[in-house]
């Protein structure tokens, strides 16, 4: 506890991922929050923006230009997509950064432009950025200056599929990802479809038919692992729950072999747990935590299987992942501050 703490800035602290970063860092023994920014709410104390943080001794929200980055060891950028690249471009080039936006996830400028609809504003940084799926880029992250946090859906799908694609045990042309997503993934934005009255007590698909932007990440990462183009089918569904993603992934392959590959891939991981064969996970069991549960069950049709992965989109899918990466970048033990037990019920 005597070790001097690393000074942290959180840019965009008035959204859910920003608040989740504060939640995690507040009890982290080696990190200390030195600056919090929020453009529209600059000047406000965090207790007003997020009363659940009331008991913490936190700096007030300020504007980005008010932050003295010379005194900051690492900045988390929890800014909106597109804003992030413009801001990061202007930050000191030796500042360690974990970006939680979509801006640096895609390495290929053409892919970025395809999925996000306009050219990238900082293509050199795009190349420099390391993709932040910790368990698969651990060594690169350790030495990275800029880490790009993954999409929360993208993380969920990759935890289930990456080892299977790498091991060649599933048909790469028959991967269907049916996701069930909690509403906090849409952020604290004011949209009619995010109102309680519109969302509770029902469910529907969105971004259907291969239009969701996280497909850019799937294409990039799965193709890299397979060594040939891989294009999955992926449609998310909005579920009346605040946190959690459940990815039900329908694949062609031998269920037992799939289970064995996953167990093997994750046996040394602290946060990824492969359930006994035939047992499937629930988002209830990872809520508020950095854990991932993965289950496999065979279908009555031989050669087909269902792989289901569950994580908390705000934590392991976003801010928990970010802290895990920051730990690596700062030379701190990777799991530090992230071993909080899920909150149930």
Active site residues: 152
Residue with tokens 């492969």: 274
Residues 182-241 touching a second copy, rule: CB under 8 A, are 183-184, 188, 190-192, 194-206, 208-211, 215, 231, 233, 235, 237, 239-241
Listed in sequence order, the residues at least 6 apart from 159 whose beta carbon sits closer than 8 Å to its beta carbon are: 135, 272, 292, 294, 309, 311
Piece of the chain touching a second copy by CB under 8 A; list 61-69, 101-109, 277-285, 317-325: 277-285
Residues 34-73 touching a second copy, rule: CB under 8 A, are 50-56
Sign of CA dihedral 11, 108, 92, 32: positive
Q: What HEC string does 223-247 produce? A: HHHHCCCCCCEEEEEECCCCCCEEE
Of residues 340, 344, 342, the one with CA closest to residue 28: 340
Site size for a second copy (CB under 8 A): 89
Report, in Å, the least distance between residue 4 CB and a second copy.
Answer: 19
Considering only residues 5, 7, 107, 284, which one is a binding residue for a second copy as defined by CB under 8 A?
284
Residues 304-333 touching a second copy, rule: CB under 8 A, are 304-306, 308, 310
Residues 246-275 touching a second copy, rule: CB under 8 A, are 246, 248, 250, 255, 270-271, 273, 275
CA distances from 214 to 197, 237, 294, 332 (A): 27, 14, 20, 30
What letter would DSSP give residue 56? S
Taking CB under 8 A as the rule, does residue 113 contact a second copy?
no
Classify burial at 64, counting beta carbons within 10 Å of its beta carbon; exposed 0-12, middle 13-18, buried 19 or more: buried
37/313 with CB nearer a second copy: 313
Considering only residues 23, 213, 214, 259, which one is a binding residue for a second copy as defined by CB under 8 A?
23
Residues in the chain: 345
Residues 286-305 touching a second copy, rule: CB under 8 A, are 286-289, 291, 293, 297-301, 304-305
Q: Which tokens hold the place of 308? A: 């289901």
CA distance 14 to 186: 14
Site pattern 149..188 for a second copy (x: CB under 8 A): ---------------------------x-x-x--xx---x
Report, in Å, the least distance between residue 200 CB and a second copy.
Answer: 6
Listed in sequence order, the residues at least 6 apart from 56 whose beta carbon sits closer than 8 Å to its beta carbon are: 22, 26, 46
Considering only residues 105, 243, 259, 316, which one is a binding residue for a second copy as defined by CB under 8 A?
243
50/104 with CB nearer a second copy: 50
136/271 with CB nearer a second copy: 271
Residues 3-22 touching a second copy, rule: CB under 8 A, are 16, 19, 22
Pairing mode of beta strands 304-311, 96-99? unpaired
């Amino acid at each position: 506890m005597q070790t001097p703490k690393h000074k942290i800035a959180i840019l965009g602290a008035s959204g859910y991922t920003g608040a989740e970063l504060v939640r995690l860092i507040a009890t982290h023994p080696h990190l200390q929050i030195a600056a919090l920014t929020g453009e529209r709410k600059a000047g406000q104390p965090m207790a007003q923006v997020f009363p659940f943080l009331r008991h913490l001794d936190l700096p007030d929200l300020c504007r980005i230009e008010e932050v003295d980055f010379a005194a900051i060891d690492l900045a988390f950028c929890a800014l909106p997509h597109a804003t992030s690249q413009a801001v990061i471009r202007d930050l000191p080039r030796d500042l360690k950064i974990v970006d939680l936006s979509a801006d640096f996830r895609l390495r290929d400028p053409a892919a970025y432009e395809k999925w996000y609809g306009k050219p990238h504003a900082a293509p050199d940084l795009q190349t420099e950025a390391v993709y932040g799926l910790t368990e698969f880029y651990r060594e690169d992250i350790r030495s990275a200056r800029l880490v790009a946090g993954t999409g929360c859906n993208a993380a969920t799908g990759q935890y289930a599929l990456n080892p299977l694609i790498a091991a060649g045990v599933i048909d790469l042309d028959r991967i269907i990802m049916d996701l069930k997503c909690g509403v906090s993934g849409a952020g604290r934005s004011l949209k009619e479809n995010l109102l309680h009255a519109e969302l509770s007590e029902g469910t529907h698909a969105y971004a259907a038919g291969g239009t969701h932007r996280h497909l850019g990440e799937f294409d990039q990462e799965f193709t890299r692992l397979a060594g040939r183009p891989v294009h999955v089918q992926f449609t998310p569904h909005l579920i009346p729950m605040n946190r959690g993603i459940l990815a039900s992934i329908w694949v062609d392959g031998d269920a037992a072999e799939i289970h064995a590959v996953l167990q093997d891939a994750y046996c040394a991981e602290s946060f990824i747990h492969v359930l006994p064969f035939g047992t499937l996970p629930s988002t209830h069991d990872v809520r508020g935590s950095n854990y991932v549960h993965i289950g496999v069950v065979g279908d009555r049709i031989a050669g087909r299987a269902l792989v289901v992965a569950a994580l908390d989109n705000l934590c392991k899918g976003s801010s928990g992942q970010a802290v895990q990466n920051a730990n690596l970048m700062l030379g701190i033990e990777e799991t530090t501050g992230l071993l909080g037990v899920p909150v149930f019920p």
